[in-house]
Structure 1
C-alpha cells in the first residue's frame, strides 16, 4: 500500500466519522433516553435519523471535497451538542439544559477540528502523488480575503465566498476545464502591480510581494498571488498530463 493510499483510508475514516459517526452516536443516545420515557418521546430520534440520512447523501458528494468538511463537522457537532442537552427534557431531566451553550460550542469546535485533522492528514506533507487522486485541492490566495483556487480532478476554479445574502455563490466563481488551460507559469510580484481578477471580490485585493501563478485559459490571462505557487503549478501540470 502506498503512502497516498494510507492517507486516503485515514481521511475517509475521519470523513465517515463526521458525516455518519456523529449521527449514529446521537441516535444511540436518543434511543437510550427514549427507553426511559413514553412512546411519544421516540419522535425525538427523528433528529439523528434525519442527520444520518443527510450525512449519507452529502458524504457521497463531499468525500473528495475538503472545503465542505469543516462546515458539516461544525454543523453536526453543534446540533449534537444541542441534542444531548435538550432531549433529556423529554423525560423530565432538567439539569443538562444549563450546559446547552457550552455543549453547542464544544460540538462546533470538535466537529470542525475533526475536519481540520482530515485535511492535515491529506495534505501534510504535500506530495506530487496527490495530483493522481480525485481530491479537490485548495490553495489560498495571498491578499484576497475569502478567496481561493480549487484544483479539482478535471477543473480549475477561482472562488470567493459570499459576504452578503444577496450574493450568489455561482456569481463569485470562475471555472475552467483543465483541458482549456494553455499555460501556467510562476512569477514573482513586487507588490506594486495592479491585478485584475475574473470574479467580483468581497474585499479589495491587497497586492503583496511574493510568488504568484500566471494562468492562461480559454483566452483569459490571470495573475493569482499564492505562497504555494510552485506546489500549485506542479500539481496542476501533473493533473493536466493525466
Structure 2
C-alpha cells in the first residue's frame, strides 16, 4: 500500500501543484516578450499554486475533490494560455480559447480520475483500512458517484451537491446486503437521488440494500465496490 499511496499522491500533486506551476512557466515566458505590466498576469497562476498547496493537504484523502479541482485548474489553464497572449499583442491564440478550455477541463479530469484509478485498481483488502474516501463512478450517469467513507456510503449525482436531493448517505451499519448483478441495458433503474440524463447501459452493477431499500448502481468496478463495503462493514 505504501508504494500505491506514493503513486497516487504524485498524480494528486501533478493536479494541484503541477498544473499551476506549468501555467506559471508559460505565462512567464509570454510576459517576457511584453512590457513590465504584462508580468501582472503571473498573479493568476501564483494564486492557483498557493491554493493548490493548501488544498492538497486538505484533500489528500478525499478523491471526490480531486475531480473538481482538476477540472477547475485545467480549465483556467486552458483559457489563460490562449487569452494571456493578448497582453503582449498576439491575438491569434484567442481563437482557440474555447477548445483550450475544453481540453484543459478534460485533461484535469483525466488526471484526477487517473489518481482515483491508481488508488482502487486492483483492489487489495488493505485499501479499506486506509483513511481514503473511495470513489466509484456510476456508468451512464454523468458526474454521479458512490463515495465509501470510514463509516458511511454516499450516492451523489454531482461532485458538489447543491441540494439534499442530489445525494443520499447511509451509515455502513445500515447496509444489509451487497450483490453483483449484470444489467442488459433494458432495465429502468430507480435511484435514491435525483439524476438527469441517465442512460441505460449494459454491464456490471451493484445491488445495495440499506435501510430497507434496494438500489441498483451500475458501475464497471462492481466487484471492487462490494469488496470495499464488505471490509469496511466488518467490526
TM bracket (short chain): 0.7 to 0.9
Q: Could you tell me how far apart the structure 2 residues matched to 1:48 and 1:113 are? A: 20
Q: What is aligned with 1:176?
A: 170
Q: CA deviation at 1:194?
A: 8.0
Q: CA deviation at 1:47?
A: 0.9
Higher-Rg member (1/2): 1
3-state secondary structure, aligned to 1:223: strand
Q: CA deviation at 1:203?
A: 5.3
- Aligned match of 2:109 in 104, 109, 112? 112
Q: What is aligned with 1:156?
A: 153
3-state secondary structure, aligned to 1:174: strand
User: Unmatched 5+ residue regions in structure 2?
Assistant: none
- Aligned match of 1:213 in 194, 207, 220? 207
- Aligned match of 1:28 in 13, 25, 31? 25
Q: CA offsets, 1:159-216, max 9 Å, x none?
A: 1239xxxx834321111233x3252242658989987543333357869896533423
Q: CA offsets, 1:97-156, max 9 Å, x none?
A: 344444434333332332232233222222222212222223345676654321122321
Q: What is aligned with 2:9?
A: 12
Q: Could you tell me how far apart the structure 1 residues matched to 2:187 and 2:94 are? A: 55
Q: What is aligned with 2:215?
A: 223
Q: What is aligned with 1:57?
A: 54
TM-score (normalised: structure 1) = 0.76
User: Unmatched 5+ residue regions in structure 1?
Assistant: none
Change in Cα spacing, 1:202 to 1:108, as seen in structure 2 (3 Å) is closer
Q: Mean Cα displacement is larger for which, 61-70 or 197-206?
A: 197-206
Q: What is aligned with 1:90?
A: 87
Residues 68-83 of structure 1: matches in 2 within 5 Å? Answer: 68-83=65-80
